Amino acid sequence: MTSSEHTSVLLLRLAAPLQSWGDRSTFNRRETRPEPTKSGVVGLLAAAAGRSRHAALDDLAGLGLGIRIDQPGSILRDYHTASDYRGQPLLSAAVTAKGQQKPTSPAKHTHITQRFYLQDAIFLAAVEGPEELIATLENAVRHPAFPLALGRRSCAPAQPLLLGQRTGSLQDVLRAEPWQASSAVRARWGRENGHASHIDLPATLDDPAGDEVRDDVPVSFAPTSRTYTTRRTRHTYLAAPTGLTPDPTQPRTTGGHDPFALLGW
d(CA 51, CA 7): 23
Percent of the chain topping pLDDT 90: 68
Residue 175 maps to a domain: no
Residue 95 maps to a domain: no
Residue 184 maps to a domain: no
What's the pLDDT at 263? 56
d(CA 47, CA 161): 14
pLDDT digits (tens, 9 = 90+) for 159-203: 999 999 999 999 999 999 999 999 999 999 999 999 999 999 999
Could you tell me the CATH number of the domain that includes residue 235? Answer: 3.30.70.2660
Residue 73 maps to a domain: yes
Give 4's strand partners.
none
Predicted TM-score of the model (pTM): 0.81
| Among 6-10, 30-34, 71-75, the least confident range | 30-34
| Measured CA angle at 53 (ends 13, 117), to 5 deg | 45
Residue 149 maps to a domain: yes
Residue 177 maps to a domain: no
With beta carbons less than 8 A apart as the criterion, state whether 71 and 184 touch.
no
The total domain count for the chain is: 1
Residue 15 maps to a domain: yes
What range defines the domain where residue 153 resides?
Answer: 7-79+112-170+202-239
